[in-house]
């Protein structure tokens, strides 16, 4: 006899585990099914984000930045370090320890909130009075009965058809986070978020990194001024070699290196590297879910179709996170998970996808929320723009991080903030003020009139708001 639940969540990434926790908090009998196994072959909760995404990448970024500081930045403070060296296996072990602590933490949170944690692949078996979900784990199988189902099966890396991942020479995100030594020559296909974050890590540890990007421009999703500054910093200061507008035509694995052929600058070119990271985007993960078994609608690209409230075409079946439309970001997945659990409880919850912040954890960091200048121009929206550099901020200078700026865009008539774009130190933290302001429909003048602590990086946000009205004080 199948155990019955009010809510069964499929997937324990940030969308799924948060949905399960919130559903349990609201008094629902809840189970969460997840099939992820770590490199040691053990079930590990937390999905892509905790196991092979957000958390491990930030751990490696921090390690590599510390190494960079020792090599190139400590001298200015009068600190000298003789024979600085990085032990990559220690760095990787530290990353794994952080991951294990957090994935184990999810298991603890499930116990605390009485969420039944079930390991295996959840498959829709039948629909009738509720849904039967079969959980398959190797030869074992069990069934759960659910009144409500939340699908949070996440995403998987896209492979190029001619370059399948092999975990050694051609790497996806998991492989890029597990390298045990610094490759002398590293190739990256895709100058997106993963390409830039992972490229930065290994460049700082000494790799010669070449990034091949298909689009003609660099970081086209970002505001054009930010993208321009980022390209300058990443190529001139960090030393990434970036080729945009290229078409990769083949990837050939040799005994100990990879040969990449591509068309770029009007001619055929070749890049030989010791290993290659392919980071050309991710696709929704609905394989093996049994969507067709119950008539769950999936679009042409494999995303589960949902409305603005994450409802699918089936009654009492919801989907959240990377497996549905919208940005593939952990915080977006989590908020959708909370909103869906609350909606099942009859509450009115909503996630505003227009104000989801983006962060790229390079150095300097890049963060934004809302509209870019180019999108406002294209849409014919009248706006005013204010920009202020970190160079003129005392805290940034004291930190030795003067690169970058904050740019604020506000409606020309109403002064309502339409977008905020940051490249600079702790952009990931600074962007929160802009998100709060935009959620409360603030104007640039509101930010200009709020007291900001001195000396702090937040003063750059303050000055950018003043700059919208052409009245900066410190420049
Ligand atoms: P996932 O985290 O992908 O979790 C889905 C889970 O469901 C997985 O455990 C999967 O094994 C399991 N599953 C799938 N199908 C089934 C099934 N049928 N039955 C049972 N289990 C199943 N986002 C940020 O916001 N900030 C960052 O800094 C950031 N860094 C990233 C770095 C990298 C290298 C990568 C790859 C991604 C990063 N992301 C980041 C994106 C973020 O990881 C995802 O947006 C987020 O994990 C999506 O959450 P999710 O719950 O939708 O899916
Ligand atoms: P991405 O969409 O950020 O970037 C992929 C890049 O590859 C794009 O610039 C695209 O034009 C390029 N590309 C596509 N096909 C190509 C080809 N054949 N040859 C050369 N270039 C090609 O995707 P990603 O970097 O793989 O990351 C996937 C997703 O994971 C991101 O979109 C993001 O949602 C999430 N993520 C977020 C963070 C963060 O929040 N800091 C970090 C890492 C990943």
CA–centroid distance, residue 173 to ligand 1 (Å): 11
Q: Cα(462)–Cα(449) distance, rounded to whole angstroms?
A: 8
Ligand 2 atom nearest to CA at 329: 34
Q: Cα(170)–Cα(253) distance, rounded to whole angstroms?
A: 8
CA–centroid distance, residue 13 to ligand 1 (Å): 5
- Identify whether 454 is a catalytic site residue: yes
Q: Which of 35, 53, 324 to mutate to test the pocket of ligand 1 (most atoms within 8 A of CB)?
A: 53
Q: Is 189 in the pocket of ligand 2 (CB under 6 A)?
A: yes
What is the biggest distance separating any 2 CA atoms in the chain, rounded to whole angstroms? Answer: 72
118 contacts 129 by C-beta, under 8 angstroms: no
415 contacts 443 by C-beta, under 8 angstroms: yes
50 contacts 106 by C-beta, under 8 angstroms: yes
pLDDT for position 313: 98
Phi, psi dihedrals of residue 290, rounded to the nearest 5°: 75, 25
Which tokens sit at 143?
């069934």
Q: Cα(311)–Cα(319) distance, rounded to whole angstroms?
A: 7
Q: Is 211 in the pocket of ligand 2 (CB under 6 A)?
A: no
pTM of the predicted protein model: 0.97
Q: Is 49 in the pocket of ligand 1 (CB under 6 A)?
A: yes
Cβ-proximal residues to 103 (8 Å cutoff; 6+ apart), any chain: 38, 44, 45, 46, 50, 51
Per-residue confidence of the chain (475 residues) as pLDDT tens digits? 789 999 999 999 999 999 999 999 999 999 999 999 999 999 999 999 999 999 999 999 999 999 999 999 999 999 999 999 999 999 999 999 999 999 999 999 999 999 999 999 999 999 998 999 999 999 999 999 999 999 999 999 999 999 999 999 999 999 999 999 999 999 999 999 999 999 999 999 999 999 999 999 999 999 999 999 999 999 999 999 999 999 999 999 998 999 999 999 899 999 999 999 999 999 999 999 999 999 999 999 999 999 999 999 999 999 999 999 999 999 999 999 999 999 999 999 999 999 999 999 999 999 999 999 999 999 999 999 999 999 999 999 999 999 999 999 999 999 999 999 999 999 999 999 999 999 999 999 999 999 999 999 999 999 999 999 999 999 9
CA–centroid distance, residue 110 to ligand 1 (Å): 18
pLDDT for position 1: 74
CA–centroid distance, residue 12 to ligand 1 (Å): 9
- What is the SS3 string spanning the chain? CCEEEEEEEECCCHHHHHHHHHHHHCCCCEEEEECCECCCCCECCCHHHHHHCHHHHHHHHHHHHHHHHHHHHHHHHCCCCCCCCCCHHHHHHHHHHHHHHHHHHHHHHHHHCCCEEEECEEEEEEEECEEEEEEEECCEEEEEEEEEEEECCCEEECCECCECCCCCCEECHHHHCCCCCCCCEEEEECCCHHHHHHHHHHHHCCCEEEEECCCCCCCCCCCHHHHHHHHHHHHHHHCCEEECCCEEEEEEECCCCEEEEEEECCEEEEEEECEEEECCCEEECCCCCCHHHHCCCECCCCCECCCCCCECCCCCEEECHHHCCCCCCHHHHHHHHHHHHHHHCCCCCCCCHHHCCEEECCCCEEEEEECCHHHHHHHCCCEEEEEEEHHHCHHHHHHCCCCCEEEEEEECCCCEEEEEEEEECCHHHHHHHHHHHHHCCCEHHHHHHCCCCCCCCHHHHHHHHHHHCCCCCCC
Tokens 């070449």 -> residue = 210
User: Other CB atoms closer than 10 Å to residue 147's CB: what's the count?
Assistant: 16
Q: Cα(53)–Cα(258) distance, rounded to whole angstroms?
A: 24
Ligand having the closest approach to the CA of 337: 1
pLDDT for position 259: 97
Q: Is 172 in the pocket of ligand 1 (CB under 6 A)?
A: no
Cβ-proximal residues to 148 (8 Å cutoff; 6+ apart), any chain: 6, 7, 8, 28, 316, 317, 318, 344
Phi, psi dihedrals of residue 367, rounded to the nearest 5°: -150, 145
């Amino acid at each position: 006899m199948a155990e019955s639940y009010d809510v069964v969540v499929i997937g324990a990434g940030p969308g799924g585990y948060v949905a399960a926790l919130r559903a349990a908090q609201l008094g629902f009998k809840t189970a969460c099914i997840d099939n992820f196994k770590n490199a040691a072959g053990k079930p590990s909760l937390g999905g892509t984000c905790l196991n092979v995404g957000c958390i491990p990448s930030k751990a490696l970024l921090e390690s590599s930045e510390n190494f960079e500081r020792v090599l190139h930045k400590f001298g200015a403070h009068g600190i000298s370090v003789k024979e600085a060296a990085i032990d990559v296996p220690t760095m990787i072990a530290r990353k794994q320890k952080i991951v294990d602590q957090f994935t184990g933490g999810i298991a603890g949170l499930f116990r605390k909130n009485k969420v039944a944690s079930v390991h295996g692949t959840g498959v829709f078996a039948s629909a009738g009075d509720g849904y039967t979900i079969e959980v398959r784990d190797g030869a074992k199988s069990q069934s759960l009965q659910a009144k409500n189902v939340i699908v949070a099966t996440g995403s998987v890396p896209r492979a190029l058809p001619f370059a399948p991942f092999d975990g050694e020479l051609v790497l996806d995100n998991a492989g890029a986070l597990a390298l045990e030594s610094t490759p002398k020559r590293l190739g990256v296909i895709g100058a997106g978020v993963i390409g830039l974050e992972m490229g930065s890590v290994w460049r700082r540890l000494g790799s010669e990194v070449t990034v091949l990007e298909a689009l003609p421009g660099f970081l086209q999703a970002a505001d054009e001024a930010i993208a321009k500054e980022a390209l300058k910093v990443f190529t001139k200061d960090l030393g990434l070699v970036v080729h945009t507008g290229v078409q990769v035509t083949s990837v050939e694995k040799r005994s100990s290196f990879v040969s990449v052929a591509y068309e770029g600058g009007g001619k055929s070119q070749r890049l030989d590297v010791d290993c290659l990271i392919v980071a050309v985007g991710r696709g929704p993960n609905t394989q093996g879910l049994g969507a067709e078994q119950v008539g769950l609608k999936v679009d042409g690209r494999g995303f589960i179709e949902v409305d603005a409230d994450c409802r699918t075409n089936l009654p009492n079946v919801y989907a959240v996170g990377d497996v549905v439309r919208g940005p593939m970001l952990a915080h977006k997945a989590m908020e959708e998970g909370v909103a869906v659990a609350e909606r099942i409880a009859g509450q009115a919850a909503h996630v505003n996808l227009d104000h989801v912040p983006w962060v790229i954890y390079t150095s300097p960091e890049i963060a934004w929320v809302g509209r870019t200048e180019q999108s406002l121009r294209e849409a014919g929206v009248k706006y005013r723009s204010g920009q202020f550099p970190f160079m003129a901020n005392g805290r940034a200078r004291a930190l030795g991080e003067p690169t970058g700026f904050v740019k604020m865009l506000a409606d020309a008539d109403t002064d309502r903030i339409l977008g905020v774009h940051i490249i600079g130190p702790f952009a990931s933290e600074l962007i929160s003020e802009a998100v709060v302001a935009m959620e409360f429909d603030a104007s640039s003048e509101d930010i200009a009139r709020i007291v900001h602590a001195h000396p702090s990086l937040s003063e750059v946000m303050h000055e950018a708001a003043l700059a919208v009205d052409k009245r900066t004080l410190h420049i």
